Amino acid sequence: MRILLVDDEPALRELLRATLESVDITVDEAASALEAETVMRRRKPDLVVLDLRMPGMSGAEFCAQLKEKPRTRDIPVVVLTAADPEDARSAQQAGAAAVVHKPFSPLELLAVVEGLAGRTPLSAPPRRKPRAGDEEEVVLYARDLRHLLEIERTQRRLLEDSYLETVTALAIALESKDGATRAHSQRVQRYAAELLEAIAPGTTSDHTYEYGFLLHDIGKIGIPDSILLKPGPLSRAERKRMQTHTVIGEQMLAGVAVLRGEGLRIVRSHHERWDGRGYPDGIAGDDVPLGARVFAVADALDAMTSNRPYRRALTWRAAHAEILAQSGKQFDPDVVDAFREREPSLVEVKRELAAA
Ligand SMILES: [Fe+2]
């Protein structure tokens, strides 16, 4: 879309150019009606934005002239004018498609322009009566900027939500193959988030942990079904093969930006143990990434308190005792302390998800 901007104030043209170009509108400028005629001979615009009061030919005269000529008759004209009813009347008589009163916010003008062009208008901030000291375009522009930032923030949130939904769908797809349930990944993720918040407050705002918790077992895609779905116990070689799901998962997700850092470490190290007897690296203590240490407790808690095809769930009390017994062995003692501290919330999570 191409717009011709006719106004004798260079600063206002600059402001409007910046606004219009931000939504991919091409802008030609003219400082007077005479200059506008020259520009239009070279390139016909789709729409003209015209200041009413200009030196030389007035905006109303120029608009009337455009409406008389067959070549330019169909081009919509938006007239900019001070809040003078007489001016608005003369603009309408001259055939203007819309009148925008000064001072206006650039987004208000943009909404009018996009409406006339049949595009879906970007939502304009609500029109407010100008107050004393509010008359400058730049003040209105600052308000626009705030409004745009709000829109941007909402869009970013939507984008983050859709990432999370996609990742969740992927985790569920994997679990359906594995025989686990949708509730498993949700419970483990919520338990882990609760424990992480207790042990490192504020960390959960970093979504990479959340993605790591959800996708920890994604590497199982690379394990043959004959091993993954084998009903009986695995042979030593099969167990070794199964354990590679940690490294396969890490390799699969290495290029995914939202998992970079801790998320990827969770995927690789979620079967490590505090005492160093885990896999794939056999690292111990603080060498095991925090997210993986937290995940280990969350995953064990859910495994013990859920029914599996080959055994019934333990009671919460029995799972509690087992987690405490593994403090300093399988689990980081600090995470076990966090488990005791947050136990009422964890029970609540289980109840809430069971009800859902
Ligand atoms: Fe795993």
Q: Report the separation in Å between the CA atom of 342 and the middle of ligand 1, taken as the mean of its atom positions.
A: 24
Q: Give yes or no: residues 310 and 172 share one domain.
A: yes
The pLDDT value recorded for residue 231 is 81
Higher per-residue confidence, 127 vs 303: 303
Q: Report the separation in Å between the CA atom of 189 and the middle of ligand 1, taken as the mean of its atom positions.
A: 14
Mean pLDDT, the chain, rounded, equals: 87
Output the domain CATH number for residue 6: 3.40.50.2300
What gap in Å lies between CA 30 and CA 7, rounded to an integer?
7
Query: Does a structural domain hold residue 187?
Result: yes
Q: Report the separation in Å between the CA atom of 270 and the middle of ligand 1, taken as the mean of its atom positions.
A: 6
The pLDDT value recorded for residue 43 is 92
State pLDDT tens for residues 84-95.
778 888 888 889
What gap in Å lies between CA 272 and CA 178, rounded to an integer?
21
Q: Report the separation in Å between the CA atom of 216 and the middle of ligand 1, taken as the mean of its atom positions.
A: 6
Residue 337's Cβ-count burial label (10 Å; 0-12, 13-18, 19+) is: middle
Q: Which residues pair with 79 in a beta bridge?
A: 50, 99
Above 60 in pLDDT, residue 128?
no
Three-state DSSP at 30 gives: strand
What gap in Å lies between CA 284 and CA 291, rounded to an integer?
14
The pLDDT value recorded for residue 108 is 83
For residue 48, what are the domain limits? 2-135
Q: Report the separation in Å between the CA atom of 238 and the middle of ligand 1, taken as the mean of its atom positions.
A: 15
Q: Give yes or no: residues 106 and 185 share one domain.
A: no
Q: Contact, 196 vs 334, CB < 8 A? A: no
Q: Give yes or no: residues 280 and 351 share one domain.
A: yes
Q: Report the separation in Å between the CA atom of 269 and the middle of ligand 1, taken as the mean of its atom positions.
A: 9
- Last residue of some domain: 93, 120, 135? 135
Segment 305-334 mean pLDDT: 91
Q: Report the separation in Å between the CA atom of 224 and the middle of ligand 1, taken as the mean of its atom positions.
A: 15
The pLDDT value recorded for residue 44 is 93
Q: Give yes or no: residues 310 and 258 share one domain.
A: yes
Q: Report the separation in Å between the CA atom of 215 and the middle of ligand 1, taken as the mean of its atom positions.
A: 9
Q: Report the separation in Å between the CA atom of 159 and the middle of ligand 1, taken as the mean of its atom positions.
A: 28
Q: Report the separation in Å between the CA atom of 169 and the middle of ligand 1, taken as the mean of its atom positions.
A: 18
Structurally, how many domains does the chain consist of? 2
Lowest mean pLDDT among 51-65, 121-135, 321-335: 121-135
**Sign of the dihedral defined by the CA atoms of residues 197, 201, 206, 212, in that order:** negative
Q: Give yes or no: residues 274 and 206 share one domain.
A: yes
State pLDDT tens for residues 147-204.
777 777 888 888 888 888 888 888 777 777 766 656 788 889 999 999 999 998 887 7
Q: Report the separation in Å between the CA atom of 268 and the middle of ligand 1, taken as the mean of its atom positions.
A: 9
What gap in Å lies between CA 328 and CA 341, rounded to an integer?
17
Q: pTM of the full predicted structure?
A: 0.63
The pLDDT value recorded for residue 154 is 80
State how far the alpha carbon of 315 is from the alpha carbons of 126, 158, 179, in Å: 57, 39, 22
209 Cβ partners below 8 Å, 6+ apart? 192, 193, 196, 203, 262, 263, 266, 291
Q: Give yes or no: residues 128 and 166 share one domain.
A: no
Element spanning 79, H or E = strand 77-82
Q: Report the separation in Å between the CA atom of 166 and the middle of ligand 1, taken as the mean of its atom positions.
A: 20
Q: One-letter amino acid identity for 250?
A: E
**Sign of the dihedral defined by the CA atoms of residues 347, 348, 349, 353, in that order:** positive
Q: Report the separation in Å between the CA atom of 176 and the middle of ligand 1, taken as the mean of its atom positions.
A: 15
Higher per-residue confidence, 137 vs 317: 317
Q: Report the separation in Å between the CA atom of 307 and the middle of ligand 1, taken as the mean of its atom positions.
A: 18
Question: 191: how many CB neighbours lie within 10 A of its CB?
Answer: 27
Segment 130-143 mean pLDDT: 62
The pLDDT value recorded for residue 119 is 67
Q: Report the separation in Å between the CA atom of 264 and the middle of ligand 1, taken as the mean of its atom positions.
A: 13
Q: What are phi and psi of 35, to 5 degrees?
A: -65, -35
